[in-house]
Amino acid sequence: MGSGDLVLMAGRANPELSQEIAAALKLPLAQTEVSQFADGEVFVQVNENVRGSDVFVLQPTCPPVNQNLMELLIMIDSLRRASACRITAVLPYYGYGRQDRKVQPRVPISAKLVADLITAAGTHRVLTMDLHAGQIQGFFNIPVDHLFAAPVLLGYFRDRMSEGAWRDLVVVSPDAGGVERARAFAKRMGTSLAIMDKRRTSINEAQIMHVIGEVRNQDTILLDDMIDTAGTIVQAAVALKAEGARRVIAACTHPVLSGPAMDRLEKSIIDEVVVTNTIPVRDHPARKKITVLTVAPLLGEAIKRIHTETSVSSLFV
């Protein structure tokens, strides 16, 4: 499919990240009006010509998930009806990604439903980051470019190690499902690996049983794709300290931080929480514990390569 000028269009989910991506690409954001009627219905109007353009819609489906998802769908529909040549949904965070399979009778696979909705709205391509389950790419019948924030996190931790701030690092997976992610990260850091044995008791409730691996007198990095209510990560930190870990640093791509998460982090024994800006981090006393790294240059580079039809595969690491 041929495409015209590159156009960036941003929703209201994460305006700071959208501005950073625009700055990285040295492009302005398209003039759009996104608002709501008194009854809560979303209204979108594109206030410039996008006919024949290659449009990238910047909108993570982060909390409030349903509002941001609906806003995304309506923006895509408005662009399709305005005769945009190609529409790429840029989703730094993919909401509903944890509902990727049936784990009980008579439950939905909402990640697939959301993929169908995004496609039906008129999307030609999706650019996303650190999906909760990689197989979600297969839920789309359109191309999906799946980036990882690992290079951004690795750069930060390597700098800290070179400064001598941390030593004898161990990368820890908070559960069995994250072992592959933690192992790859540990290999690139040149450190060892440990695993938490976690038994989930109900939604947003989990209990850490014990630590598999040696963490005594080590600085530990608890690595996950997201921190939601922070219950798992806080329990894991307690278990690591009980096993003699010297310091506990939590790291993730997506700081969902819903419900009691910020209060839990503030009161926890975690020394630092390193996240990226795929989701905005709200103000709270715990904010001083949180280091936010930007993924704007990475997303900007991917957008540029997609627009120019050059290889994006070197960014998938």
**Active site positions, annotated:** 198
Interatomic CA distance for residues 280 and 13, integer angstroms: 8
Burial of 258 (0-12, 13-18, 19+ CB in 10 A): middle
Are 17 and 281 contacting, i.e. CB atoms less than 8 angstroms apart? no
Q: Identify whether the C-beta of residue 235 lies closer than 8 Å to the C-beta of residue 265.
A: no
| Of residues 196, 187, 72, 178, the one with CA closest to residue 133 | 178
> What does R_g of the chain's alpha carbons equal in angstroms?
20
**CA distance linking residue 273 with residue 261, whole number of Å:** 12
Residue pointed to by tokens 């806003």: 71
